């Protein structure tokens, strides 16, 4: 039979993200074939199943169970002496491949490295021809991540992504050794999670009549209704699929702003003494919405009931409650809100928002969970266990870490992947600052202002994918890739200071990685610019000129 991949990959296989060390390769090669057995030690069962589903399918290999004591074996084991997510991959022609992880996750990340070493064929779902060879050079790789939180936010509220798209996103995160999916489930433009106690949240809140095309000042509209939501069984499936890939799904239920979809479904949640909330519909455009939740006991009980169901679906220790971009105009005009201020004696409407956040901070803590929110939640102070997503720049994260709070760094100016990738007018719906592949590669999550003790509060980093102008999988792929690969290396690898990073080496390794993305069917932005079908001529964006501020 023809061997369509007879040559092993180059030393290191163009690995992305870069590992800590590679010893070798030697002169020999290791070939996984029809007789290769898969020996799965305790704690490696999920990885063994994943290998059979991926490498087994790609190369037509049965990978039958083995003992690990015979030649030609793919051996998986846990060794607690290694870091929990660390691994050692050793390939030797005398006995095959051994992947040892400090825990089950470490074994899985080692398996991801093996897949990369086997070349782009390993990323296909069936053999390209009978006898496709799975070959890699003899070598030993030692590796472990820099950060425990290596995440991506996926906004499914602005444009709904069907369940299969979320499962595909999880596979792509796993392929880049990212381990957190922050799922933005609710916003003004849509409510995407089934809450059985409140069926109107999806009957009404999951659908909008039309959608603005491009930036909110664009004259164009998509007149088709848009919507969708995940049933609770859909979300259980997503969470289980993620867990098999050692990814935590962090749910976000946004309060007290970004809530018009909920108010459209249940008008009593809004400031009824200021506006006619029964007239509100799910919002069809973008920007900061003035319609926010009323600070009433009715609202608190409603969201407690919502979160009761959320906690039953998501085992994540963190629950994100948003807390950002909450205009206070309606509270200033509301007699009910002003009465609440007088009752609680906070200083002003900003402190009223802090009261909102603190209530759910305590509520979640009483149930063994931790609140995390956007950096606006720092205003008015936080309970000790709360964590902060620093999005407006570094400042919120610096303040939080100095105050002893854990931080996830996701500054808009650096890692918002809805921002444009080039200054060319051909970029589709250009939003924000130019953030090139190299710009993302030189992102540093730990600000130099922090002491070592304060820096320990930086849990990690996250790239945020806001989908106002991403209305399809094709648009998502274009905005997210290849920049997510650069972000993954920043979050995983122990890179030098930004100016000292070897971007040329990264681009050399990306040449191999593009072939993997091709095999996966990812419609990334080519290095030379958008292909004709990736452009969106005539759809207005919001480009910002100049370098982003370092704030």
Residues noted as catalytic: 187, 258, 325
Strands 73-78 and 21-23, sheet pairing = unpaired
H helix or E strand, kind and range, residue 191: strand 190-191
Please answer whether residues 72 and 49 qualify as being in contact, where contact means their C-beta atoms are separated by less than 8 angstroms. no
- Report CA torsion sign: 278, 282, 285, 291: positive
- Report CA torsion sign: 417, 418, 423, 427: positive
- Report CA torsion sign: 246, 14, 95, 62: positive
CA distance 521 to 249: 24
CB crowding 168-206: b at 16 or more within 10 Å, else e: bbbbbbbbbbbbbbbbbbbbbbbbbbbbeebeebbebbb
CA distance 389 to 396: 8
Question: Which residues pair with residue 250 across a beta bridge?
Answer: 182
Burial environment of residue 483 by CB neighbours within 10 A (0 to 12, 13 to 18, 19 or more): buried
Please answer whether residues 98 and 66 qualify as being in contact, where contact means their C-beta atoms are separated by less than 8 angstroms. no
Strands 186-187 and 190-191, sheet pairing = antiparallel
φ, ψ of residue 39 to 5 degrees: the values are: -100, 110
* Residue 34 CB neighbours (<10 A): 12
3-state secondary structure of 123: helix
């Amino acid at each position: 039979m023809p061997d369509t991949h007879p040559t092993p990959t180059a030393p290191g296989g163009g690995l992305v993200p870069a590992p800590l060390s590679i010893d070798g390769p030697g002169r020999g090669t290791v070939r996984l074939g029809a007789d290769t057995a898969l020996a799965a030690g305790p704690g490696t069962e999920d990885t063994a199943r994943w290998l059979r589903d991926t490498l087994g399918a790609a190369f037509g290999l049965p990978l039958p169970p083995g003992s690990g004591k015979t030649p030609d074996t793919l051996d998986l084991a846990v060794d607690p002496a290694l870091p929990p997510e660390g691994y050692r991959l050793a390939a030797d022609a005398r006995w095959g491949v051994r992947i040892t992880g400090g825990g089950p996750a470490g074994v899985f990340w080692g398996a991801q490295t093996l897949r990369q070493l086997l070349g782009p064929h390993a990323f296909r779902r069936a053999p390209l021809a009978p006898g496709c060879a799975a070959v890699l050079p003899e070598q030993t790789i030692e590796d472990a991540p820099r950060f425990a939180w290596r995440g991506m936010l996926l906004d499914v509220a602005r444009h709904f992504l069907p369940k299969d798209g979320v499962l595909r996103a999880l596979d792509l995160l796993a392929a880049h050794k990212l381990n957190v999916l922050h799922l933005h489930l609710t916003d003004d433009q849509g409510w995407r999670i089934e809450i059985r106690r409140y069926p109107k949240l999806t009957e009404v809140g999951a659908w909008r009549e039309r959608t603005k095309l491009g930036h909110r000042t664009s004259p164009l509209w998509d007149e088709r209704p848009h919507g969708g939501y995940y049933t609770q069984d859909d979300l259980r499936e997503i969470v289980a699929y993620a867990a098999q890939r050692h990814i935590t799904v962090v749910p976000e239920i946004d309060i007290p702003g970004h809530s018009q979809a909920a108010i459209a479904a249940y008008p009593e949640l809004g400031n009824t003494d200021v506006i006619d909330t029964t007239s509100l519909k799910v919002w069809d455009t973008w920007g900061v919405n003035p319609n926010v939740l009323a600070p009433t006991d009715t609202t608190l009980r409603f969201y407690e009931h919502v979160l009761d169901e959320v906690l039953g679906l998501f085992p994540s220790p963190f629950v994100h409650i948003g807390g950002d971009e909450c205009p206070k105009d309606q509270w200033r005009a509301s007699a009910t809100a002003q009465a609440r201020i007088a009752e609680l004696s906070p200083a002003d409407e900003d402190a009223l928002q802090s009261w909102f956040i603190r209530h759910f901070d305590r509520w979640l803590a009483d149930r063994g969970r931790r609140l995390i929110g956007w950096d606006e939640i720092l205003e008015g102070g936080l309970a000790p266990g709360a964590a902060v997503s620093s999005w407006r720049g570094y400042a919120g994260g610096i303040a939080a870490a100095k105050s002893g709070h854990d931080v996830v760094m996701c500054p808009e100016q650096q890692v918002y992947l809805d921002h444009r990738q080039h200054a060319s007018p051909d970029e589709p719906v250009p939003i924000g600052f130019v953030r090139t592949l190299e710009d993302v590669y030189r992102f540093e999550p730990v600000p130099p202002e922090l002491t070592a003790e304060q820096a320990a509060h930086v849990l990690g980093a996250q790239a945020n994918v806001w989908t106002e102008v991403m209305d399809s999988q094709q648009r998502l792929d274009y905005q997210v890739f290849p920049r997510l690969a650069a972000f993954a290396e920043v979050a995983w690898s122990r890179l030098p200071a930004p100016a000292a990073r070897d971007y040329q080496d990264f681009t050399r390794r990306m040449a191999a990685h593009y072939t993997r993305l091709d095999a996966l069917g990812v419609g990334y932005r080519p290095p030379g610019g958008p292909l004709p079908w990736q452009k969106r001529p005539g759809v207005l964006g919001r480009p910002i000129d100049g370098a982003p501020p370092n704030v």
